[in-house]
Amino acid sequence: MDFFTAQDNARRKTGRLVVLMVLAVLALIVVTTLAIAIALHLMGEQSATQTNLPTPGLWSALSIELVIGVAIAVLAVVVLGGLFKRSQLKRGGRVVAEALGGREINLNTRDADERRILNVVEEMAIASGTPVPSVYVLEEESINAFAAGYQTNDAVIGITRGTIRHLTRDELQGVVAHEFSHILHGDMRLNMRLISILHGILIIGLLGGTLLRSMRFRRVGGGKRDNSGAVVLALGAVLMLIGYAGTFFGNLIKSAVSRQREYLADASAVQFTRNPQGIGNALVKIGSHSQGSYLQATQAAEFSHLFFGQGVRLGFSQMMATHPPIKDRIKRVMPDWDGRFDATLPTQQAESDAPEPEYDDVRPGTEPGAMAAVLTGVSAQTAINTMGQPDQRHLAQARATLDALPERIKTAAHEPYAARALVYSLLLSQDKTMRKQQLKALQQVALPDVYRALMEYGPEMLRLDVQLRLPLIDLVLPALRSLSMEQAQHFRLCMERLIEADGQVTLFEWTLYQLLLSNLGQHGSGPANLKLNDLQRECQLLLTVLATAGQDDSVEVGAALNAAERGLPFSLTATDDISDMRALSLAVERLRRLKPLHKPALLQAMARCIEHSGRILPAEAELFRAMADILDCPMPPLLSDEASATICDTVKP
């Protein structure tokens, strides 16, 4: 399943989730109505006995008014409860990680285990073309992990201490690749929505518990005719029972949504790493570990469908399992497994001394140090075909990229002050006179510590290979996300001062600015409900900008647009004024709202636009991937000729 089909399926699954929720709410309304009718019947019997009147029947307590009233009340509670939970989760995945007791790993940590998991996550992010997510560690001995968030820009990876302590690097790669599959295929967003929706069902049981606890502060019977305490007690008990019904339905919904997605994520992890033993042995170690994958966190049940393994112990029925049986998962990725859970858990010392893995099947052009590989049209097409399905070659390219980055720069990217300085340095002009003017404007508004860091790293950054700029942006994002709202606003102001210092906005400046806004969650968002035919003007502007980025000759620009329009439902003509970056911003904002299945045609047009000459320049490749990222299409690294041709033989559009 390709990236866009997976995204579309996730959206459709949200619709099926709504149907299941409607059925669950209807069941709650029926149970609540019957409970209230029985309570009214019992109260009527007692009143009739005291007044010597005929006893009313149970069915007489049921009425249209009662059903409507209960339906309104239940719907109000469910909707308000869901909205309340959604407001709590609006900060994204970090809310889930903190609720589970997670601690964000310091990007400059000296803990060997924590540095290892950070390195694995960075490699996976660069290989898949997604922003590097923040990583949280849960101080639990079990082996488990999760991905949480609505978008790639607010996603986090959570991982237990037992996981990073007991798993080898290959096994960690398998687990992290599994979680990245959830991010890429839309499962993560669906799971977050599920948390909000289910909270509305569960809140009825919470109300019942509150009523029961309130009875501690009042007398149950103040007199022979005072039955209010008994009524409150009964109502609380009934709401608790309804709450258990809500829990039952909620777990059924989780199971219906999650199980098949876990199989798909396991398969994606194998494709990503080309190493079935990695994720397979991680699952074996869960089966052999005394704590398994079970978490002790009090809110683990609420987030159980997010985890890599079954996070909470099951009751009497396997129907409530949010994950497939672990033996079935192992058999699917390692068919030759003998069925025994006898994996040896490595000690921390043994793992820290283990050598780094070798990449024996790395194709020419993707080995470390091959940053000057030739890129052609095949490279761009391959990148599109493997969106959401990166493999070992992309992972090797990510490792080569990280190796090519100077160590000082990588370390600085993990520190919030230095990370801002690195971004500022990317905006500095190569022209010495203009650079002095930019620095003068920045010095007036920048924080002194950040400005000093800029002066320290600036000279080295000016010599940075153009192919390393985009990966560097990915590396600085976790540090930039740690900024407070005021710090983020000040950071944005400083970028704007640098960009405006020369009185014009270059395409690179615009791209970098938009890329950061997008990944730091400062872009507006709307429903993805637009078709390609609705956005002809916007497509024309974007493709004209791409065409002029690679050549100045008007004939070549026309040829690039002619190549781009093949496969589009409309023709293209060069736009006269491509220097209006505000118009480009508005165009891209609308293009972000394309339906998932309409985005491939636009990306293919972009690829044809930059490949028409038969060779893709590094600046064109960078712009192509940055534009795709801004359009919410995570693009893996562009590979060299031989690696791309190999993938094209196995991956179909």
Q: Which residues are catalytic?
A: 179
How many CB atoms lie under 10 A from the CB of residue 547?
Answer: 26
Q: What are phi and psi of 650, to 5 degrees?
A: -115, -20
CA distance linking residue 389 with residue 395, whole number of Å: 11
499: closest CA among 513, 480, 514? 513
| Residue spans of alpha helices (H) in 91-186 | 93-99, 112-128, 161-166, 169-184
CA distance linking residue 209 with residue 211, whole number of Å: 5
262: closest CA among 303, 309, 196, 304? 309
Say if residues 362 and 604 touch (Cβ distance below 8 Å).
no
448: Cβ contacts below 8 Å, ≥ 6 apart: none
- Strand, helix or coil at 568? coil
| Residue spans of alpha helices (H) in 274-387 | 276-288, 326-333, 348-352, 377-385
For 582, counting Cβ atoms within 10 Å of its Cβ (0-12 exposed, 13-18 middle, 19+ buried), the class is exposed
Say if residues 125 and 133 touch (Cβ distance below 8 Å).
yes
How many CB atoms lie under 10 A from the CB of residue 240?
Answer: 18
Q: What is the residue type of 71?
A: A
Structure tokens at 187: 């499962």
| Residue spans of alpha helices (H) in 501-640 | 507-519, 536-550, 554-565, 581-591, 599-611, 618-630
* Start-to-end C-alpha separation, the chain: 10
Q: What is the residue type of 117?
A: I
Q: What is the residue type of 578?
A: I
Say if residues 385 and 647 touch (Cβ distance below 8 Å).
yes
Say if residues 523 and 151 touch (Cβ distance below 8 Å).
no
CA distance linking residue 606 with residue 588, whole number of Å: 13
Residue environment code for 442-455, b if the CB has 16+ CB neighbours within 10 A, otherwise e: beeebeeebbebbe
CA distance linking residue 120 with residue 14, whole number of Å: 31
Structure tokens at 591: 């293009």
Pairing type for strands 156-160 and 134-138 reads parallel
Max alpha carbon distance in the chain (Å)?
Answer: 102
- Strand, helix or coil at 638? coil
CA distance linking residue 646 with residue 2, whole number of Å: 18
Which phi-psi region, left, alpha or beta, contains residue 479 (left: φ > 0; alpha: ψ -120 to 50)? alpha
Structure tokens at 525: 């968002």
E-strand ranges in 234-284 read none
117: closest CA among 58, 59, 168, 57? 168
